[in-house]
Structures are given as structure tokens and as C-alpha cells.
Amino acid sequence: MEHRSTLVTAGNLADVLRHEGKNSEAQSLIQETLEIERRTLGNEHSDTLNSMEVLGQVLTAQGLYAEADKILREAYDTRLRVLGKDHHDTAGSAYDLGALYAAEGKKAEALAMLTSAVDHGLLPKKDLDMGTDPELKSLKGDPAFEALLADARRHAGSSPN
């Protein structure tokens, strides 16, 4: 399973399993994939970081917030250092941390990370999906979140992507 294409496919499958709510299967597959990617590709490779994001999302869905925070924070910090704050992958990592914090009920932290994501290169589709993202349901109705949604829509409308 060490071929890069196989690892990418395994990571994609884990993400599909996560979306289907099969979190224990997803977790097992993505942990194995991530372990191989760290060893063969290194900790800063985009595939490794993408797998870290999927693992963090799976852990968040399972309510394993401390573990999710650790892996999502590592992915974010690495992307921030390697890619800079204005790269869409760094913004995506900030978004995932924001979703984690929203799930934990940490509204201020969630809004700070989501604002950073919107302000620093979040992809337009993610900007537009933010209002319907079930991971952010705890923020609905919050005036700061509603203002952020309006800002995200403006960003998406002005983006060339």
C-alpha cells in the first residue's frame, strides 16, 4: 500500500466513509494511510497533511475533541509555516479547526478560526457552503456568525476561482 496513488485512493475512501457516517472504518483506514505517508512522504507533504485533516474530521465526528485538536492543529501549523497564511490549504485547515471548536461549543475560538479562513483564501465553494455546514450548526443565529456568512458570500462572489 506504499505507492502514492494507492495512498491517495485510501485517503479518498476514508473521506467517503466519513461522509457516510462510517467513522470507525474511516478512522482505521486513514490512520494506517497517515502512518505510511508520514514514513514515505514526510510530515510536510500535501498528501500527509490532507490525511491529517481527514483524521481530524473523523475524530471530531466521533466526539474525540482533544485528539482531533492535536492532529488538526499540527496540520494547520505545518501549512501555516510551509504555505503561509494566505494559501487555500491553510485556510481549509483553519476552517476545520473552526468546525472542531464549534462542535466543542467554543464559539469565540470557532469564529476566530473561521474568520481567518475566510480572510485568508478559503475556496469559494467552502465560503458558500458555510451556512449549511452541519458542523457549524451550533453557531447559527449568532450575530457574529451571520456577519461572517455575509462576508464569506462577498468573498466567494469576488473570487476568480
pLDDT digits (tens, 9 = 90+) for 69-101: 999 999 999 999 999 999 999 999 999 999 999
How many whole angstroms separate alpha carbon 146 and alpha carbon 8? 36
Helix, strand or coil for residue 20? Answer: coil
pLDDT at 1 over 80: no
Model confidence band, residue 38 (pLDDT cutoffs 50, 70, 90): very high
Of 93, 98, 94, 89, which is closest to residue 133 (Cα–Cα)? 98
Of 49, 68, 55, 3, which is closest to residue 29 (Cα–Cα)? 55
Question: What number of residues does the chain have?
Answer: 161
Q: Hunting for cell 505545518 — which residue is that?
A: 78
Q: What pLDDT shows up at residue 155?
A: 85
pLDDT at 2 over 90: no
How many whole angstroms separate alpha carbon 75 and alpha carbon 130? 21
